[in-house]
Chain A
Amino acid sequence: MGKYQIGEFEEIVMLTVAILHGNAYGISIKQQIEETQGRKVSVGALQSCLQRLEKKGYLKSREGEATTIRGGRPKKYVEITAAGKQALATTREIRNRLWEAIPRVVLDMKFTVYS
Chain B
Amino acid sequence: MITPPKIPSRFFRWFCRRDLLKYLEGDLTELYQDLIHTKSRRRANWLFLVEVLKLFRPGIVRSIEYTPIKTFNLMFKHHIFLALRNFKKHRASFLINLTGLTTGFTCALFILLWVRDELSVNKFHENDDHLYRVMEIQTYANDRLATNATPGVLAENLKVDFPGIKYASGTSRIRESQLSFDNQSYKEIGLHVDTDFLKMFSYPLKIGNVATVLADKSSMCISESLATTLFGNVASAIGKTIRYEENRDFVVSGVLEDVPANSTLQFDYLLPYEVYKEENQWVTEWGNNGPHTFVMLHPGVDPGEVTSKIANYVNEKNEDRNTVELFLKKYSEQYLFGNFTDGYPDGGRITYVRLFILIAVILLVIACINFMNLSTAAASKRAKEVGVRKAIGAQRKILIYQYLVESWLIALFAALVAVILAFLLLPHFNEVTGKSMSLGLSWVNTGLILAVVFICGLLAGSYPAVYLTHFNPTVIFKGDIKTSLGELWVRKGLVIFQFTVTIALMIGVIMVHKQIRYAFNKNLGYDRENVVVFRQDGSIPNKREVFFNKLRSTPGVVSASSSSHNMIQQMTSTTGLEWEGKPTDEEVIFENVRVDEDFLKTLDMKLVSGRWFSKEFGADTTRVVINESALQVMGFNAEEVIGKRVRLWDRYDLQVIGVLRDFHYESIHTKVSPSFFWPQDRRLRYVVVRLAPGRQSETLSAIQRLYSSFNPGFIFDYAFLDSSYQQLYTAEQQVSKLSTYFSAVTILVSCLGLFGLAAFTVQSRTKEIGIRKVLGASSGRIVLVLSASFTKLVGIAVLVSLPISYYAVAAWLDSFAYKTSMSLWVFGAAGLLSLLIAWVTVSSQALKAAHINPSQTLKQE
Q: Chain A: residues with CB nearer than 8 A to chain B?
A: 25-27, 30, 42-45, 47-48, 51-52, 63, 66-71, 73-76
Which of B54-62, B202-210, B483-491 faces chain A?
A: B54-62
Q: Chain B: residues with CB nearer than 8 A to chain A?
A: 1, 3, 20, 22-31, 33-34, 50-51, 54-60
Which residue of A43, A48, A71 contacts B51 across the interface (Cβ within 8 Å)?
A43
Which residue of A42, A68, A69, A71 contacts B25 across the interface (Cβ within 8 Å)?
A71
Given contacts A27-B30, A43-B27, whether A73 and B22 have CB atoms under 8 Å apart is yes
Q: Is the CB of B60 within 8 A of A44?
A: yes
Which residue of A48, A51, A52, A70 contacts B30 across the interface (Cβ within 8 Å)?
A70
Q: Which B residues lie within 8 Å of A43 (CB)?
A: 24, 27-28, 31, 51, 54-55
Main secondary structure of the interface of A (DSSP, over half): helix
Which residue of A26, A45, A68 contacts B23 across the interface (Cβ within 8 Å)?
A26
Q: Is the CB of B31 within 8 A of A27?
A: yes
Q: Is the CB of A71 within 8 A of B3?
A: yes
Q: Which B residues lie within 8 Å of A71 (CB)?
A: 1, 3, 25-26, 29
Q: Which A residues lie within 8 Å of B56 (CB)?
A: 44
Q: Is the CB of A68 within 8 A of B59?
A: no
Q: Is the CB of B51 within 8 A of A44?
A: yes
Q: Which B residues lie within 8 Å of A66 (CB)?
A: 26
Q: Is the CB of A70 within 8 A of B29?
A: yes
19 new A-B pairs (CB below 8 Å) besides A42-B55, A74-B26?
Answer: A26-B30, A27-B31, A43-B24, A43-B27, A43-B28, A44-B51, A44-B54, A44-B57, A44-B60, A47-B60, A48-B59, A69-B29, A70-B26, A70-B27, A70-B29, A71-B29, A73-B29, A74-B22, A76-B23
Q: Which A residues lie within 8 Å of B31 (CB)?
A: 27, 30, 43
Identify the closest chain A residue to B33 (Cβ): A69
Given contacts A69-B1, A73-B29, whether A47 and B20 have CB atoms under 8 Å apart is yes
Q: Which A residues lie within 8 Å of B20 (CB)?
A: 47, 51
How near does chain A come to B45, taking the closest CB pair, in angstroms?
A: 15
Report Cα–Cα, A107/B57, bound state, in Å.
41
Q: Which B residues lie within 8 Å of A67 (CB)?
A: 30
Report Cα–Cα, A63/B24, bound state, in Å.
12
**Residue among B25, B26, B51, B57 with most chain A CB within 10 A:** B26
Q: Which B residues lie within 8 Å of A44 (CB)?
A: 51, 54-57, 60
Ordered by A's residue number, 26 sampled pairs between the chains whose C-beta atoms are within 8 Å are A26-B23, A26-B26, A27-B27, A30-B31, A42-B50, A42-B54, A42-B55, A44-B51, A44-B56, A44-B57, A45-B54, A47-B20, A47-B24, A47-B55, A47-B59, A47-B60, A48-B58, A48-B60, A51-B59, A52-B59, A63-B23, A69-B33, A70-B30, A73-B29, A75-B23, A75-B27
Q: Which A residues lie within 8 Å of B51 (CB)?
A: 42-44
Q: Is the CB of A73 within 8 A of B58?
A: no
Q: Which B residues lie within 8 Å of A42 (CB)?
A: 50-51, 54-55
Report Cα–Cα, A89/B277, bound state, in Å.
118
Report Cα–Cα, A25/B27, bound state, in Å.
9
Given contacts A68-B1, A69-B1, A71-B1, whether A51 and B27 have CB atoms under 8 Å apart is no
Report Cα–Cα, A45/B27, bound state, in Å.
13
Report Cα–Cα, A68/B34, bound state, in Å.
13
Q: Is the CB of A73 within 8 A of B26?
A: yes
Q: Which A residues lie within 8 Å of B24 (CB)?
A: 26, 43, 47
**Residue among A27, A48, A71, A76 with most chain B CB within 10 A:** A71
Report Cα–Cα, A67/B22, bound state, in Å.
12
Identify the closest chain B residue to A75 (Cβ): B26
Q: Which B residues lie within 8 Å of A73 (CB)?
A: 22-23, 25-26, 29
